[in-house]
Amino acid sequence: MDQVLALRPFVPARDFDLSQRYYQALGFAVTLQDGQVAILKQESFSFILQNFYVKASAENLMIQLMIQLMVRDGDAWWRAADPARMAAEFDAPPPKPPAMQPWGMKVGFLTDPSGVLWRVAESLF
């Protein structure tokens, strides 16, 4: 079936404007924004940032939102994005640089200003 064009997760934002600036600094472009949602895109990957945040959900570690971004070269992506600088600039938790995981993938971890955990994984293929 060749009708599917994209799969876009919805990502909450505690501070909608701050989150948009954070993702733009990571290299995403805002392709649509209406005050309630913003579509952010980088190459073939996109997601919908929503001007919506539920504190109780964000603070419950059992339901923390995680997103995996697959990249060709984890170290190169990490150097270009500079997550340590981003964390300081946007008052986000410190990132964990890419490292080989026990399951055989190189993965780095960063958290956006709203607490969304991003796993930046190097593609095995």
Task: Kindly report the pTM of this predicted structure.
Answer: 0.81
List the pLDDT tens digit at each of the 125 positions of the chain: 566 667 789 898 999 999 999 999 999 999 999 999 999 999 999 999 999 888 776 556 455 678 889 899 999 999 999 999 999 999 999 999 999 988 888 999 999 998 889 999 998 87
Strand order in the sheet with 96-100: 66-71, 117-122, 106-111, 96-100
Indicate the burial class of 25 (C-beta count within 10 angstroms; 0-12, 13-18, 19 or more): middle
Q: Which CATH architecture has domain 10-122?
A: Roll (3.10)
Whether 82 and 25 have beta carbons less than 8 Å apart is answered as: no
